[in-house]
Chain A
């Protein structure tokens, strides 16, 4: 058997694939964060809570309204996205003119509220969401047994990431968005409704997080705290990729998934920490992140 640093090749390949699947979650979440940061300049601390709300919307939708997984894939991001827009309209807008750190603090408070409230109703043990029937089981890939659902997560995440990238880089709406990021005042003068653009952007970013939440529901226990520890990892991903860089967020997300996957093989105790180490190294050498523009 071929060995790579003492690990059989098959196991090594399997770990890379799993790392990539986890990376897909990082990519989706950091993409949303990057989109929000790009236009609003806010570090959205509530992003993990939105991911969690997406998963809860899926779970509760099935439990009380009989909404199945496929419908939830569309409805949960929509509902959470609308909720995000409401938050933007009623709260974030009021502090938009202030130091951006206040945005971070406000969303931090919001995250505390959402998580804490749900803990009181659902506890933290986490509920299980069944894998949709069509995606149950798995197949042999030659080097590992791959559950179908995980393969689906990877495909779905990459498709959504590509769609988002395309929309921002290749469409008129995306052009407004990018221009709004560069110079909102000028855009306003050209007759673009910038406040609406901001609301939609926040809603969209949050919806991406909720979409990741729906994907996560059958994989991980659905619990109110599921987003909180993931969040700071995703922050690190965004910072490494370069704040506000769309492509950077996606590529870094997938890349960090791989690095984390390898750490789980060679030094598993550090799996939760390795990304922060990478982040420090990157920031010391490239202060604006791997894909960010120097200010």
Chain B
């Protein structure tokens, strides 16, 4: 299989190279490279990706000079308002009327699943940077999209395993009552049990919920050492805030935020979040390369980038570099070429794109700093450990993706 694919890709690359010699511009569809950025620009996930992500994408475009082989790169964007309807329709329209070459951004999982269906139908290319659901490259995988930054599998794998190893072996799960929450809860339960821990109870709360007091009280009553938060965004923030009001940490229990982003920690403040363990795909202050890019971003946006925003830059840059190498923006050729080369840059370490579309790369276990240890406004995490790329993500042997031959 791999052999056939390799031969196929190299023959495509060869064909592309031959064509490049005869006139590159002809190979860019309509003589333009069109990138559509679809994200939540006004709702819950605005700070996670939103306008900042669009700016990161523009940075990538500027860094390749705004055009490739004379073909200008056009960027347009739309707000999906976290609605699968709006998202799918926007993408469909981009294909029907604007001939979009790459759909980038893609945040809320439900929007992503709907949008990638449309991308597949039109045989285009999508790179998902914001979504959490691991199902996007599992049962919902398509040959036409890549999932770049993270998913729920390493979140459970990283955070839950580290906590059980530290002795946090009894868990109470607070789960958002929808597919994403259930999936995360399942992943966490598996990891906890595999490592000798036990999930002693849990509650599934409606999505979204403002008032977590009742659930926190149940968690306190359960006697579990760890309260696992299998939810996201505002729900996680609310749960953590409520837990701090009810003195959860003082009474000897610990919170495990499974999907916590830089912007969440920033919004809640270190006083509330200190000591929280989390898994992240990237952190702006993790090394020199990351810092350098983050500071460029900071100058333009005025906030430090989240891993999603960094991932949007990284994926777009890789896409554009690949287009430049191949001399074509043909989605099939670009997708194949992306699967052939290692993905390494300021964002991704030991990365590669698997046949199910998952971009696996090193993930990091981090701890939120205490207010005393933090040196400035954005000095929020300490990186504790690296989770190697090949261990972090769901192994292909467990995959339900129809592109993977098991």
A residues within 8 A CB of B211? 22, 219-220
Nearest residue (CB) in B for A19 is B214
Residues 1-52 of A at the B interface (beta carbon under 8 Å): 8, 10-11, 14-15, 18-19, 21-22
Q: Does A264 contact B (CB under 8 A)?
A: yes
Interface size class of A (residues with CB under 8 A): 35 or more
B42 close to A264 (CB less than 8 A): no
- Mask, B228-250, CB within 8 Å of A = 1, is 00000110011001000111000
Nearest residue (CB) in A for B245 is A147
A145 close to B177 (CB less than 8 A): no
* A261 CA to B214 CA, complexed, in Å: 7
B217 close to A269 (CB less than 8 A): no
Residues 89-126 of A at the B interface (beta carbon under 8 Å): 119-120, 123-126
Known: A11-B221, A125-B234. A145 touches B210 (CB 8 A): no
Q: Which of A22, A119, A219, A268: most chain B Cβ within 10 A?
A: A268
B234 close to A126 (CB less than 8 A): yes
* A120 CA to B42 CA, complexed, in Å: 7
Closest chain A CB from B169 CB (angstroms):
22
A15 close to B214 (CB less than 8 A): yes
Nearest residue (CB) in A for B205 is A268
A residues within 8 A CB of B234? 124-126, 221, 223
Nearest residue (CB) in A for B268 is A128
**Option from A11, A22, A125, A126 in Cβ contact (under 8 Å) with B218:** A11
B residues within 8 A CB of A119? 42
- Mask, B200-223, CB within 8 Å of A = 1, is 000111101111011101101100
B residues within 8 A CB of A226? 210
B247 close to A145 (CB less than 8 A): yes
A123 close to B221 (CB less than 8 A): no
Q: Does A272 contact B (CB under 8 A)?
A: yes
**Option from B209, B217, B233 in Cβ contact (under 8 Å) with A15:** B217
Q: Does B43 contact A (CB under 8 A)?
A: yes
Q: Does A138 contact B (CB under 8 A)?
A: yes
Residues 268-285 of A at the B interface (beta carbon under 8 Å): 268-273
Nearest residue (CB) in A for B50 is A123
* A22 CA to B241 CA, complexed, in Å: 17
Closest chain B CB from A285 CB (angstroms):
27
B245 close to A131 (CB less than 8 A): yes
B206 close to A18 (CB less than 8 A): no
Q: Does B11 contact A (CB under 8 A)?
A: no
Known: A265-B218, A269-B177. A18 touches B47 (CB 8 A): no
Q: Does B46 contact A (CB under 8 A)?
A: yes
B residues within 8 A CB of A270? 206
Q: Does B269 contact A (CB under 8 A)?
A: yes
B residues within 8 A CB of A127? 267
Q: Does B251 contact A (CB under 8 A)?
A: yes
A145 close to B206 (CB less than 8 A): no
B214 close to A265 (CB less than 8 A): yes
A124 close to B214 (CB less than 8 A): no
* A265 CA to B217 CA, complexed, in Å: 10
B205 close to A271 (CB less than 8 A): yes
Known: A19-B214, A268-B215. A10 touches B221 (CB 8 A): yes
* A219 CA to B241 CA, complexed, in Å: 8
Q: Does A149 contact B (CB under 8 A)?
A: yes
* A219 CA to B246 CA, complexed, in Å: 11
**Option from A128, A144, A147, A261 in Cβ contact (under 8 Å) with B267:** A128
* A8 CA to B234 CA, complexed, in Å: 30
Residues 247-291 of A at the B interface (beta carbon under 8 Å): 261, 264-265, 268-273
Nearest residue (CB) in A for B208 is A229
A residues within 8 A CB of B220? 144-145
Nearest residue (CB) in B for A262 is B214
* A127 CA to B266 CA, complexed, in Å: 11
A residues within 8 A CB of B215? 264, 268
Q: Does B195 contact A (CB under 8 A)?
A: no
Known: A124-B44, A145-B246, A221-B234. A11 touches B241 (CB 8 A): no
Closest chain A CB from B33 CB (angstroms):
31
A150 close to B42 (CB less than 8 A): no
B206 close to A269 (CB less than 8 A): yes
A149 close to B245 (CB less than 8 A): yes
A residues within 8 A CB of B205? 264, 268-269, 271
A124 close to B43 (CB less than 8 A): yes
Nearest residue (CB) in B for A138 is B247
A residues within 8 A CB of B245? 131, 138, 147, 149-150, 219
Taking Cβ atoms with an 8 Å cutoff, the residues of B that contact A are 42-44, 46-47, 177, 203-206, 208-211, 213-215, 217-218, 220-221, 233-234, 237-238, 241, 245-247, 251, 263, 267-269
Q: Can you list 28 contacts pairing A with B, beta carbon distance less than 8 Å? A: A15-B214, A15-B217, A15-B218, A19-B214, A21-B213, A22-B211, A124-B44, A125-B47, A125-B233, A125-B237, A125-B263, A138-B246, A145-B246, A145-B247, A150-B245, A219-B211, A221-B210, A226-B210, A230-B210, A261-B214, A264-B214, A268-B177, A268-B206, A271-B205, A271-B206, A272-B206, A272-B209, A273-B206
Closest 7 CB pairs of A and B: A264-B214, A11-B221, A272-B206, A147-B245, A18-B213, A220-B210, A268-B203
